[in-house]
Amino acid sequence: AQSVTQPDIHITVSEGASLELRCNYSYGATPYLFWYVQSPGQGLQLLLKYFSGDTLVQGIKGFEAEFKRSQSSFNLRKPSVHWSDAAEYFCALTLILTGGGNKLTFGTGTQLKVEL
């Protein structure tokens, strides 16, 4: 069965520092992958997605992610973190390629704290 693992439950970075959030997946084929962000009291907002093609994808708010098939990873990065980036980040994959439509499998999330 498919699964998504986010090894880091909490991460703290200083404002202006670079950020990398890890995501590993287990799936029988190349999946469609997503990163969502959830600010306190808000719903989940799509940051970026990977379907195919260029393995480095750009998203909103200055985020990017790189798909690495050999490592089954889809890590999220940002070169310089802003205090407003403090939120919870979810990695997810969809079952669309195996007939599961756009049902998502989510990781457990990484809580990002930004120190000023």
CB of 56 to other proteins, least distance (A): 18
Q: Which of 33, 56, 35 is nearest to 47 (CA)?
A: 35
Site size for other proteins, by CB under 8 A?
20
Q: Are 97 and 89 in contact (CB under 8 A)?
A: no
Residue with smaller CB distance to other proteins, 81 or 94: 94
Q: Does 43 bind other proteins (CB under 8 A)?
A: yes
Q: Does 108 bind other proteins (CB under 8 A)?
A: yes
Q: How far apart are CA 48 and CA 50, in angstroms?
A: 7
Rounded (10°) CA dihedral 76, 82, 86, 87? -50
Q: Does 11 bind other proteins (CB under 8 A)?
A: no
Residues that bind other proteins (CB under 8 A): 32, 34, 36, 42-46, 49, 51, 90, 94, 96, 101-104, 106, 108-109
